[in-house]
């Protein structure tokens, strides 16, 4: 990031509380489950623990997690290769296990997605950028339940590129316009949008602060094009300054819309917040 600074004021903590879901076992982190859990134990009681959400696990790791003695709060994540029955079976293990808890379910959109609502926890349904402005998003909104969230993948995979800023802005506008909260997954490792530097030329990645600000703009009636400009902004001083302008009502509105995002190493974005002077901790 460019132009890091540490001014005296920090935004209200509520802006970042529970924002970063712990996706340590997923790529590119790929932490073994026991290490992912031990890292969570180390953070318990620390001053940054309030910034981190539940542990995200695929169904295949849930039985191992509940067999351990360390209580875990888990959201079970089913990708496209996971059936709904597999997802619900793993989730039920958490419901039935003493000391452990089920925080939510995440699944790829399909016509029978409503079956995931039966456990009474929040359900995040992943759509593609194309589905975000089509019938699948309207289908999610038609349930009319705060239990339902829309989800978009913002990181690249072998079969999918990082969505464009226009696609992400369109997703945010579609979700908020239909009364849906949303979460994101993949790619949001850093606070401010940037381009990675790798041997193959790198790729553009969004910053989670850019997403918070773009969401605020859309909720305040700005155009999607204005939100896209914010998503593409790479000057960290500009982004940090705009974040400091958010007051309590705007923060509450933004976080009601943008619930959380999954990150494979939750300390990376927290270090960015510290470096930018947006949290009190000097990490």
Cis peptide preceding 28, ω within 30 of 0: yes
178 found inside a domain: yes
108 found inside a domain: yes
pTM above 0.85, yes or no: yes
Stronger pLDDT, 34 or 204, i.e. the higher one: 34
CB atoms within 10 A of CB 225: 10
The pLDDT value recorded for residue 219 is: 98
Mean pLDDT in residue range 190-209: 86
Provide the domain count of the chain.
1
Q: Rounded to an integer, what distance in angstroms lies between the CA atom of residue 68 and that of residue 205?
A: 36
pLDDT single digits (tens) 165-189:
999 999 999 999 999 999 999 889 9
Beta bridge partners of 102: 74
- Closest by alpha carbon to 39, among 31, 47, 30? 31
205 found inside a domain: no
The pLDDT value recorded for residue 4 is: 45
196 found inside a domain: no
Average pLDDT, the chain: 94
Residue 5 pLDDT > 50: no
Q: Rounded to an integer, what distance in angstroms lies between the CA atom of residue 210 and that of residue 180?
A: 19
Mean pLDDT in residue range 52-79: 96
Where is average pLDDT lowest: 5-14, 65-74, 152-161? 5-14
Mean pLDDT in residue range 237-245: 97
Mean pLDDT in residue range 255-266: 97
Handedness of CA 57, 156, 21, 149 (dihedral sign): negative
**Position 198 confidence tier, pLDDT thresholds 50, 70, 90:** low
The pLDDT value recorded for residue 57 is: 98
**CA atoms within a 13 Å half-sphere pointing along the CA-CB vector of 268:** 19
254 found inside a domain: no
**Position 161 confidence tier, pLDDT thresholds 50, 70, 90:** confident
Instruction: Map residue 133 onto helix, strand or coil.
Output: helix
**Position 63 confidence tier, pLDDT thresholds 50, 70, 90:** very high
182 found inside a domain: yes
Residue 199 pLDDT > 70: no
The pLDDT value recorded for residue 3 is: 43
227 found inside a domain: no
Q: Rounded to an integer, what distance in angstroms lies between the CA atom of residue 39 and that of residue 34?
A: 9
226 found inside a domain: no
- Closest by alpha carbon to 193, among 221, 227, 225, 217? 227
Q: Rounded to an integer, what distance in angstroms lies between the CA atom of residue 16 and that of residue 25?
A: 22
- Note down the domain range covering 41: 14-188+259-265
**Position 11 confidence tier, pLDDT thresholds 50, 70, 90:** very high
pLDDT single digits (tens) 71-118:
999 999 998 889 999 999 999 999 999 999 999 999 999 999 999 999
CATH number of the CATH domain containing 179: 3.20.20.70
**Position 2 confidence tier, pLDDT thresholds 50, 70, 90:** very low
């Amino acid at each position: 990031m460019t132009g890091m600074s540490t001014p005296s004021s920090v935004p209200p903590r509520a802006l970042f509380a529970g924002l970063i879901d712990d996706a340590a076992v997923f790529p590119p982190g790929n932490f073994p489950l026991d290490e992912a859990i031990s890292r969570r134990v180390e953070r318990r009681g620390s001053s940054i623990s309030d910034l981190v959400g539940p542990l995200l696990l695929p169904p295949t790791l849930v039985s191992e997690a509940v067999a351990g003695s360390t209580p875990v709060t888990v959201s079970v994540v089913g990708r496209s290769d996971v059936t709904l029955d597999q997802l619900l079976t793993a989730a039920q293990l958490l419901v039935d296990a003493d000391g452990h808890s089920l925080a939510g379910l995440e699944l790829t959109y399909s016509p029978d997605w409503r079956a995931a609502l039966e456990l009474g926890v929040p359900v995040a349904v992943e759509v593609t950028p194309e589905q975000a402005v089509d019938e699948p998003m309207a289908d999610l909104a038609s349930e009319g339940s705060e239990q339902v969230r829309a989800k978009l993948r913002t990181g690249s995979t072998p079969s999918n590129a990082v969505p464009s800023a226009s696609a992400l802005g369109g997703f945010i506008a579609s979700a908020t316009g239909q009364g849906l909260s949303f979460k994101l997954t993949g790619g949001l490792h850093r606070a401010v949008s940037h381009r990675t530097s790798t041997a193959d030329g790198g790729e553009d990645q969004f910053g989670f602060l850019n997403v918070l600000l773009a969401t605020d703009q859309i909720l305040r009636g700005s155009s999607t094009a204005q939100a896209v400009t914010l998503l593409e902004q790479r000057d960290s001083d500009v982004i940090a300054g705009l974040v400091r302008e958010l007051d309590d009502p705007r923060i509450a509105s933004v976080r009601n819309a943008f619930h959380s995002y999954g990150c494979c190493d939750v300390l990376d974005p927290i270090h960015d917040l510290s470096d930018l002077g947006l949290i009190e901790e000097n990490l």
